[in-house]
A and B are shown apart, each in its own frame.
Chain A
Amino acid sequence: MLEVRNLTQRFGGITALEDISFNVTKGEITGVIGPNGAGKTTLFNIVTGIYAQTSGTVHLEGKDISALPAEMLAAKGLVRTFQNIELFGNMTVLENVMLGLHTQSRSGILSCMFKAPWHLKEERNIREIASEWLEFCDITDLADQKASNLPFGKGRMLEIARAMAVRPSIMLMDEPAAGLNNRETAELATLIRKIRDKGVTVVLVEHDMELVMDICDRIIVLNLGRKLAEGTPREIQENQAVISAYLGEG
C-alpha cells in the first residue's frame, strides 16, 4: 500500500531521518513510535509532500509519489492529521469538513460567483456528505460552532472528520491522543477501528503505548532518525533494543 524506501532527511547539520524503509499493509493499522525527536513527524511531512526529502522514495499503491507536492496527494487518497491541530479556526465545524470535499467538487471561480445551477447542486451535495462525516465522528451537535471555539478533544475529532471527508484510502495520524483524557482516548480507539473497518489503512504516530499496543496490527519503532525495530505489538514489547531506547530516554 505505502512503501517507504531508503528515506533520508537532513536539516542543515541535523539528520532527522536516516535510510528508513518499511511497508504499510493495506487494511491494517500500523503504529509508528519513538522517543521525542525520533523523526516521526518529519516522516509524515515527507510522505505528505510538505517537505522534499534529501534522498529516498515513497510509493503509494505502486506509484511513485516522492516528488508530488502536498496538494496533489488528497486526490490520490492520502490524507493526514496534525500533531498540533491544524483547523480552519475562522470557519464553522461543518465548513471545515466541507473543505475536506474540495477535491470531490469542481465549480470554479466564475460558476461560484454566478451561482451556476450545477454549483448549487454540488454545494448541497457537499453539505450533505459533510454532515454524514460529522455524524460518523459524533460531533453533529457542533456543526455551526466556529472551529476555534471547540474544546481540544472535539478539535481532534473534527480533524479526523475533515480527513475522512477526503475519502482517503490511507490516513496518517500524528499523535491523535495527545491532550485527550481517558474517556476521549477510548472513544478515539473506537473511532480509529471504525475508520479501519471502512477500508482505510491507518498509520498512527502515538506516544500513548496502551493505545498503540491495543489497536495496532504492526509497529515500527524509530529512534534518533533510524529504524530500531518492526513487528507485532507483542514482538515490540519484548524487543530489548526498544526497551533500552525508551528506558534510556526516560
Chain B
Amino acid sequence: MFSKHREIFKFLSLVLVVLITPLLVHEGYLLNVLIFVGIHTILSLALNLLLGYAGQISLGQAGFFGLGAYISGILTTTHAINPWIAMLAAATIVTTLAFFVGFPILKLKGHYLAMATLGLGIIIYIVFNEAVDRTGGPSGLSGIPNLSIAGYTFNTDLKNYYLIWTFTLVAMGLSLNLVHSRIGRALRAIHDSEVAARVMGVNARVLKVQIFALSAGLSAIAGSLYAHTMTFIAPASFGFNFSVELVTMVIIGGLASIYGSLLGAALLTVLPEMLRAFQDYDIIVYGLLLVLMTMFMPGGLVKGIPELFTSIRARATRKVKTDA
C-alpha cells in the first residue's frame, strides 16, 4: 500500500514539473526541444513495453512512427479530413497492420527478430521515399494542419508543449497501469522464462503480438502528433538511424522502466542539441553511449543513478568511520 502511494506521488510530481516548466522556459527553441522530449518519451515508452518488458527487440519503430505521421499528414492534406479523425485512423491502421505482421515476425527470436523488424522498417522507409505522388517523396509533405479543439488551435510552441505532454503523461500513466497488472506480469514472465510462462498458461505467442501491435499503435500516435505539430514531414526523420536511437533511449534510460523511458528520451534529445558539433557522428556517439552504459550501468540511468548515490554515500560514511 505504501509503495502504491509512492507511485502516485512520483507521478503527480512529474505532472507538476511538466506544468510549471514553461514558466521557467520562455524561449521558443527550448520549448521546441521539450516538445521533442515528449514525443520521444512516447516512442521509447512504446518500445520499452516490447523490449524492456516482453524482451522482444524491434528495429522498425521509426517505421511505425513514420506511418502514423504520413497517414495523418496525407489524410488531412490530400483528403481534408479532421486531424483528430486522422490520428485515430493512423493509430487503428498501424495497430492492425502490426498485429497481422506480428504473427509471422514474432515467431523469430533474438538476431532474427532484429533483422526482420529492421527489414520492415526499411521497407516502410522506402515507401515514404518512392510513393512520391502520395508522400511527396524525399522532399516531404508540407501544409499539415495543426490540431484544434472547438476552434482553439494548437499553433504555438507553448500550446503544442501542453498538447504533447498531455499525451505523454497519459501514455505514461496508462503504461504504468499496464505493467503493474496481470498483463505486465505476464510480459515480464515471458522475458524471464518463456517456457515457465507458457506452462502457467500464458499464451506467449499471442501476447507478444498484442504488445507489438500496441507498441506500433502508440508510436503511430506519436507520429501523428509530430506531423500536426511540425506541419511538415520528410522521410529522413523516419529512417533506420532513428530506430537505433530509440533502442538507445530505452537501454540508456532503463529497460523495463516507464520513468527510464522518459530519462532516456530526455537525455538523447537534449544531448545532441548540446553537442551540435557531433551532428554527423551522432550514430557513433550513440554506439559509444550504449557500450559504456552496458558496461557501467546495465540497469540504465533509472537504476544507475540511485546506485551511484548509494555507493558515494557508502564511501563517504566509510571515510567518516575511518577518520574517527
Residues of A within 8 A of B (CB): 48, 50, 69-75, 79-80, 82, 86-91, 95, 98-103, 105, 107-109, 112-115, 119, 122-123, 126, 162, 166
Contact = CB atoms under 8 A, between A and B. Distances in A.
Contacts of B202: 71, 99, 102
A117 B43 CA distance: 28
B192 A88 contact: yes
Contacts, number: 102
B263 interface: no
A112 B182 contact: yes
B182 A126 contact: yes
A70 B199 contact: yes
Interface in B171-196: 174-175, 177-178, 181-186, 188-189, 191-193, 195-196
B204 interface: yes
Given A89-B192, A107-B183, A48 B199 contact: yes
A74 B214 contact: no
A86 B177 contact: no
B13 to A, nearest CB: 20
B200 interface: yes
Could you say which of A50, A101, A112, A126 has the most chain B C-beta atoms within 10 Å of its C-beta?
A112
B178 A109 contact: yes
Given A91-B185, A123-B181, A123-B182, A102 B200 contact: yes
A75 B192 contact: no
Interface of B: 174-175, 177-178, 181-186, 188-189, 191-193, 195-205, 210-211, 214, 256
A103 B201 contact: yes
Given A74-B201, A166-B201, A50 B195 contact: yes
A70 B185 contact: no
Nearest to A91: B188
B177 A88 contact: no
A71 B185 contact: no
Per CB-CB distance, the 9 closest pairs between chain A and chain B, nearest first, are A74-B201, A112-B181, A103-B201, A86-B196, A70-B198, A88-B192, A86-B193, A113-B174, A71-B198
Nearest to A148: B192
A175 to B, nearest CB: 16
Contacts of A88: 185, 188-189, 192-193, 196-197
B196 A75 contact: no
A95 B185 contact: yes
A80 B201 contact: no
Contact of B199 (A79, A89, A126): A79
30 contacts: A70-B198, A72-B201, A73-B201, A79-B199, A79-B200, A80-B199, A86-B193, A87-B192, A87-B196, A88-B188, A88-B196, A89-B193, A91-B185, A91-B192, A98-B182, A98-B185, A99-B189, A99-B197, A99-B200, A102-B185, A102-B200, A102-B201, A107-B183, A112-B184, A113-B178, A115-B177, A122-B182, A123-B182, A126-B182, A166-B200
Contacts of A109: 178, 183, 210-211, 214
A82 B189 CA distance: 15
Contacts of A86: 193, 195-196
Contact of A112 (B177, B195, B196, B256): B177
A99 B186 contact: yes
Contacts of A102: 182, 185-186, 200-202
Contacts of B174: 113-114
Contacts of B195: 50, 70, 82, 86
A242 to B, nearest CB: 30
A107 B207 CA distance: 13
B193 A87 contact: yes
A89 to B, nearest CB: 5
B189 to A, nearest CB: 5
A99 B185 contact: yes
Contacts of B178: 109, 112-113
A82 B196 contact: yes
A71 B193 contact: no
A142 B319 CA distance: 34
Given A105-B182, A113-B174, 12 more contacts: A69-B198, A70-B199, A75-B201, A79-B199, A80-B199, A86-B196, A88-B193, A88-B197, A95-B185, A109-B211, A112-B182, A112-B183
